[in-house]
Amino acid sequence: MPGEADFIELLPDPELRSDRLLLGIRHFDEPFLLTVSLSQGLGSSDLWLDRGRAGKARLAEFRRIGDRVLFAVRNKHFLTSGDEAAVRAGDESFALSVVWSGPVLREENGVVVVDATGLVVADHDRVAEHLHAHEQGDYTIDESASLPLVADSRTGPRAVRLPALLTFRGPGRGRAVQAVAADPRAVTVVQQLNLMRLPATPLPVRRYHPASGGYGIGYADHGLVGRAGTQVRFQPRFRAEPGGDPVVFQIDPAIPEPFRSAVVEGGNWWQRAFARIGLPDAYRVEPGGAGFDPYEPGVNGVVWVHRAGRGWSLGQGLTDPRTGEILHARVRLGSQRVEQVRALGEALLAPYGRPDEAERLAAVEELVLARLRQLAAHEIGHALGFMHNFAGTGHPEPSVMDYPHARIRVTEEGDLDLSAAYGTELGPWDHYLVAHAYGRFGEGEEDTALAALRREAAEAGLTYVSDEDAQGPHAAHADAVPWVSGADALRALETMLRVRRIALDGFSAGVLPPDRQTGELEERAALLHLLHRHEVAAVARLVGGVRYAYGLAGEAGRGTEAVEAATQHTALNRLAELLRAEQLALPHAVLDTLTPPAIRYGRTEQYLDTGAGRIFDPFEAVRAATALVTQQLLDPARLNRVAWQHAADPAVPGVADIVDTLLAATWRRNDPVPGDLPGGAAVQHAADWALLDHLLALLDDTALHTPVRMSLRGAVRRLATELRCQGDEQAREAGELIRAFLADPGSVRLDPLPRVPPGAPN
């Protein structure tokens, strides 16, 4: 507030020392928010220690005991309500963490002066712990090369920012640190310690509902014991009110044009949703000026972050733990996303050296801008308080809170069209998110109005499935797979396979800018070869898949329902076909074009591995594409689900059905491999052996339930009997290997499962 004294004062050092920070503290025993940011990061996609990184918030306070000042941190997830005795019981039940203390130097005009250098030059963001957890070695702060940045410190009535240059000494042998640090034995970052006062007038809370699409944040309130559940959860949201201060996001001027304008445009898509609920002036996105400072409490910033390698973008909000009010937000946009999307567009259109090169390059550029618009809307959506919705692709119009893959159309002439690859506005789910979080209702009407919104969204088919239920090996929901290009998984797979074939058959040096070394053609080929990876995951999710919805126990619900048996069989058969040589073999257009990386260049994790020395390895390409299918279908959690569903309904495919269907396309294939296929039978044999290695390795996986493992073992034993009786030498050898493995697994060397290059983010 204007004229109010600073929350904490920065004081000049009477000894004029630049390596010492003196603070004048006015308020003791008053909780405030403590957050930590990095304004100079490490630049590694593997480590997430980025410029703009925001650490977890904690409650903190200064305490004075005699002639010492303590800096105490409290877990904000334990807050107790009630009378004085109840609050005291809560405070005394959970430990404080005193992270610093220092002597009182003097008192003047109601201000207690301390030397806070030790407070600021400390690893509050746990960088050393983070490096250790990511196997980069044991690092510790080098106090001789760390100091507070006194001249850059800021203070005011509401907040204090105390930056420090921190140098971490360590072994310097970690791969990720070696890739980015000038000297990996001395890693230097700039940490911003932020102390923010809580609002004097708390925002009225909006209770969290599992179907709201918002983040459910909150705390355990043990003052409610005996009256209600102790878990209290809120919908995080900004204080968006008619006539109040608007929610403004400023865009980092470091983002070059035309990308900056695309980010502004995409971020402003949310304006329409706020206008629809009667708050037309409550939100906007604008370019930041020359003094753009995303670490100031009053600035919601979109920060441009550079990293080595493929990395994610991120939207975060700092919230008042008492109410869920978002006090400050920050978005990190990874600049490498531009290159990732451009590589996709160039690989698909092969623009260089063509008569219509300018037209094709314009299409690639628009692809990049369209993706950045959507990305800006997505990450700012997180900062506004909204979670992912990985079922959003199936809505009448896709939600920006889904992960979108480019939607590629095949024209009647057989060309690839990228003109409608990404959405151009919010979807209905996004409008629902804003209405549910920020809508204003009459006194006593909120619960009824929000319930009506949820009911209308469900009736409109706006399915909601978020992170754990959509991503990773344990996800089982059939309607939510990230990065898919269409709502109908089987149809999307067919479309993407057609796109993949057209792009691979048209592969040439024209997929790469003419001034780039030809070894990078291999990376573009790998991108196209595995282009269908997300659709494979979506079709595999139908096998052993289920459907369910989030809600409360007192609401009507349908429980968990298995995917229809016929759909599961169709999905299984279609995936098995992908293990046939016709789908796995790379065309001559690719094989005849590739060369190894030039001297002073090398393969990155985006390349396929090679067992052929420096040369591209077609066998490894076959193994990686095979693994797209086997890693999905043979996941232990999926097999356990399949076994139970089959036990409950024999019409659903069981574990043996999965194995037999995969074997029908490989070892039991009964039609010849086309003779004009590059690699011919060798391609099929490579897939056969990759599948067999995976099946045998799976027998030792402790994640499988015993009956499931025995069913798998029986299917493999039956295969061994068949193969040992065949005339084909490869088949007989496979049968002998299975027999030996079943008798003594330690006597058999299995090839490791192939590494599949990362395919996300896109």
pLDDT of residue 153: 93
Cα–Cα distances in angstroms (integers) from residue 219 to residues 223, 233, 234, 554, in the given order: 12, 7, 9, 22
Do the Cβ atoms of 146 and 161 come closer than 8 Å? no
The pairing of strands 22-25 and 8-11 is antiparallel
Q: Which residues contact 226 (CB under 8 A, 6 or more apart)?
A: none
Report which DSSP code applies to 255: S
Residues 603 and 510 sit within 8 Å (Cβ to Cβ): no
Q: Give the integer Cα–Cα distance in Å for 166 and 160.
A: 19
Record the tokens describing residue 102, joined without a space. Answer: 């220092």
The answer to whether 255 and 263 have CB atoms below 8 angstroms apart is: yes
How far is 296 from 556, CA to CA, in rounded Å?
Answer: 46
The structure tokens listed for 366 are 């628009």
Q: Report helix, strand or coil for 209.
A: coil
pLDDT the model gives residue 5: 65
Residue 63: exposed, middle, or buried by beta-carbon count in 10 A (0-12, 13-18, 19+)? middle
Nearest partner of 506 among 346, 350, 356, 345, judged by Cα:
350
Gyration radius of the chain over CA positions: 29
Q: Residue 195's beta-bridge partner residues?
A: 34, 160
SS3 (DSSP) at 118: helix
Centre a 10 Å sphere on the Cβ of residue 547 and count the other Cβ atoms it contains.
18
Going from the first residue of the chain to its last (762 residues), give the mean pLDDT of each consecutive group of 10, the final group possibly shorter: 67 85 93 94 92 92 96 93 92 94 93 96 96 96 96 91 96 95 96 95 95 94 85 95 94 97 98 97 96 90 93 93 96 95 98 97 98 98 98 95 96 96 97 98 95 96 95 90 94 98 98 97 98 97 96 89 98 98 97 95 94 96 98 96 97 97 96 93 96 96 96 95 87 94 94 93 87
E strand or H helix at 98, and its extent? Answer: strand 97-108
Q: How many CA atoms lie within 13 A of 402 on its CB side?
A: 33
**Tally of CB atoms within 10 A around 754:** 23
Structure tokens at 265: 């445009």
Helices (H), 200-277: 259-267, 270-276
CA distance 432 to 202: 25
